[in-house]
Amino acid sequence: MKKILTVLSEWGYWGEELVGPLEAFDVEGYHVDFATPTGKRPVALPPSMDPYFIDPPLGKTVVSEEMAEKVKILDNPNNPRLDNPIVLSKWLPDRPYWSSPKILREMEAYYQALEEVQKDLEQYDAILIVGGSGPIIDLANNHRVHDLILSFYKMGKPIAAECYGVTCLAFARDLGDRKSIIWGKHVTGHCKEYDYLDGTGFVGTDLNMGPPPYPLEYILRDATGPDGQYHGNVGKSISVIVDHPFITGRSTPDSYMTGQKLVEVLEKGLTRYGW
């Protein structure tokens, strides 16, 4: 039985971006473990359960009635599937400040702890970073998430990410060379045309951030460098890119194919798709 580690934000994931891949994994009989930064049960963003929600940039609904029900079932507190996620803050070590008086000893301990975590991760066949607005807050610049990604990268195992979860790939960098692991790679992710002008929100707060705090497209264009490429595929209904070991999905409509392509990577050895 293959095992997938699925990382979710505690500030709101987009329902379909979990449901789509999860259904693909369930069909294959994969075991899925969920993880969040501090162990809180992940919660779906309310618009992702609302079939009447009009996505502002697209000017249309993006949640079908069937999908809304699927997300509500998964998100229901009485559904135990998302209970007791792995606690990343306990599983992976904290990175010390460089100003620490014992920085050398603490960095040695940090790297030793990471080696132990990498042994734990050998049980998994792939990792998935689920999207939505929540990852902007607690996944994009979370060094524990970066260390997870780097561990899978070192093992040559598939790394999938959706929407704003793709940001984690751009920022996952070894402290030695600090070069993005997607340098020279082909990826997709939330494009400029899909960004909100207003209304970027999160679970657990009334904060309206307005537009997202960063244009992910620009980050990905810079992170892939001159020999790689960001693919927005604006105007196309689906945008999923496979450039081994990475599988990236642009946004909500790409969720099912992201999961399907990850399965193809694992089962059929797919190394390239969409470019």
pLDDT at position 183, please?
A: 98
| pLDDT score recorded for residue 211 | 96
Q: Please write the tens of the pLDDT for every residue from 119-170.
A: 999 999 999 999 999 999 999 999 999 999 999 999 999 999 999 999 999 9
Distance from C-alpha of 199 to C-alpha of 207, rounded to nearest angstrom: 9
In angstroms, the CA 105 to CA 124 distance is 30
Question: What is the model's pTM?
Answer: 0.97
- Name the band, by pLDDT with cuts 50, 70 and 90, for residue 265: very high
Residue 229: its H or E element: strand 229-230
Average pLDDT over residues 250-257: 97
Q: How confident is the model at residue 89 (pLDDT cuts 50, 70, 90)?
A: very high
What distance in Å separates the CA atoms of residue 128 and residue 126, rounded to the nearest whole number?
7
Task: Retrieve residue 71's tokens.
Answer: 């997300």
* DSSP per residue, 95-154: PPPTT-TTHHHHHHHHHHHHHHHHHHHTT-SEEEE--SSTHHHHTTT-HHHHHHHHHHHH
């010390």: which residue's tokens? Answer: 96
- 226-240 confidence digits (pLDDT tens): 999 999 999 999 999
In the prediction, which pLDDT does 97 show? 95
pLDDT at 242: 98
* Structure confidence at residue 115 (pLDDT): 96
In angstroms, the Cα distances linking 158 to 4, 150, 151, 173, 235 are: 10, 11, 11, 17, 28
Distance CA 161, CA 255 (A): 10
Looking at residue 180, what DSSP letter applies?
Answer: B
CA gap 185, 18 in Å, rounded: 24
Average pLDDT over residues 54-72: 97
On average, the pLDDT of the chain sits at: 97
Average pLDDT over residues 91-98: 96
Residue 237 in tokens:
């209904």
Six-digit token string for 116: 């132990």
Q: What pLDDT, in 10s, does the model give residues 181-227? A: 999 999 999 999 999 999 999 999 998 999 999 999 999 999 999 99
Delineate the domains of the chain, giving CATH numbers in brackets. Answer: 3-273 (3.40.50.880)
